[in-house]
Amino acid sequence: MAKTKLLFITHEMSPFLELTKISEITRQLPQAMQDKGLEIRILMPRFGNINERRNRLHEVIRLSGMNIIIDENDNPLIIKVASIPAARMQVYFLDNEEYFQRKQVFRDNGNKFYADNDERTIFFCKGALETVKKLGWSPDVVHCHGWMSSLVPVYLKTTYKDDPTFKNAKVVYSAYNNCFTEKLSADFPKKAIMNGMTAEHTEAFNACDNDALHIGAISYSDAVVFGDAEVSAEVLKFVKSSQKPVLQYESTSDYENYYNLYEEIANEELVSLA
C-alpha cells in the first residue's frame, strides 16, 4: 500500500522561527507522522529573521524563478531548503525580497501591524501551491496551520480543484486562538481572488480579522483541528454548525489522533472525532 502523502503549510516552525506554540506543533507533528510511515513535505515563509547560515538554507534553483501575481503585479518567488538532520526532514522556504526580507515578522519596530500582511498572506498561499506543483508531488492531505495559510483551502477547492497535483487532496485546518487583533487590508478578499473564483468564494473573509480568516479557511476544509484549548466563540459556533470532522485540542504530544484523522480523511471515511 502506498504511503499517505502529507503536506504541512505553516508560517512558523521550530527551530527556524518560534513565535507561538504553532512552531512546536509543526516541528513535532511532522516527525511523529514520518515515524508512522507517512511521506512528509513542509513549507513555510523565509522571514528575514531566519538565519540562513546557521540553519544552512540554500536555494533550490529548479524550483525558483516563478512569479506570483498579486493585484496585477508580478512578485518573484525564490525557494530555499534546509534539513533537520535529527528528523531526516526537509523544510522548503518561500522567499521574496519585498515581502519577507525584514527583521520583524508581522509588526514593525513600533509594533505596528504591517499594512501589506494581506499581500504577504496571498503570496505565501499561492506560492506554496505552485511550489508543490513544481515539485511534482501530489499530497493526499494538506494540513494548514494558522491564519497565514488560511487561503490554501479555498484555492484548493476552486482554482486547483481539477489540477492533477491536488485533485484528490483533502484539507485539514488548524485554528489557533487570537493570533492577531488587528485587521488585514479591507481589499484582502478582492486581492485574494484567483482564476475560477468569484467574490462569493472569499466572502467569508470580508471582516479581514483573525476570526474571519479562520472561518474562511474552515469553510473550504474537510476537517478542523483546534490548536488551542480555547478558540473564539464565533469560530467555535461556526465549526459546530459546519458539522465537519473535528479534532479537539490535546495538551499532550501524543499524535495518534492526528494519524487517525489523516488516514480517515485520505480514505474518505469522514467521521467526527470530537
Give the position of cell 540554500.
Answer: 58
What would the grid cell of residue 148 be? 497565514
What would the grid cell of residue 186 be? 479591507
Backbone region of residue 199 per phi and psi (left: phi > 0; alpha: psi in -120 to 50; beta: other values): alpha
141 neighbors 265 (Cβ within 8 angstroms):
yes
Top-ranked range on mean pLDDT: pick from 73-77, 122-126, 173-177: 122-126
Q: What's the pLDDT band for 107 if we cut at 50, 70, 90?
A: very high
89-95 and 73-84: which strand pairing? Answer: antiparallel
Calculate the alpha carbon distances from 111 to 4, 10, 49, 195 in Å.
41, 22, 16, 35
Burial of residue 167 (CB within 10 Å: 0-12, 13-18, 19+) is exposed
Amino acid at 112: K
Q: Is 90 exceeded by the pLDDT of residue 274?
A: no
Give the pLDDT confidence of 133-183 residue by residue, as tens digits. Answer: 999 999 999 999 989 999 999 999 999 999 999 989 999 999 998 678 899
Taking each helix axis as running N to C, give the angle between helix 233-242 and helix 210-219, from 0 to 180 degrees, rounded to the nearest 10. Answer: 10
Phi, psi values for residue 20, rounded to 5°: -140, -175
Structural domains of the chain, ranges and CATH numbers in brackets: 5-266 (3.40.50.2000)
Q: Where are the beta strands (DSSP E) in 235-274?
A: 246-247
Q: Is 90 exceeded by the pLDDT of residue 42?
A: yes
DSSP 3-state of 237: helix
Phi, psi values for residue 63, rounded to 5°: -95, -20
Query: What's the rounded Cα separation, in Å, for the pair 184 and 162?
Result: 30
DSSP 3-state of 28: helix
Q: What's the pLDDT band for 271 if we cut at 50, 70, 90?
A: very low
Query: pTM score, two decimals?
Result: 0.94
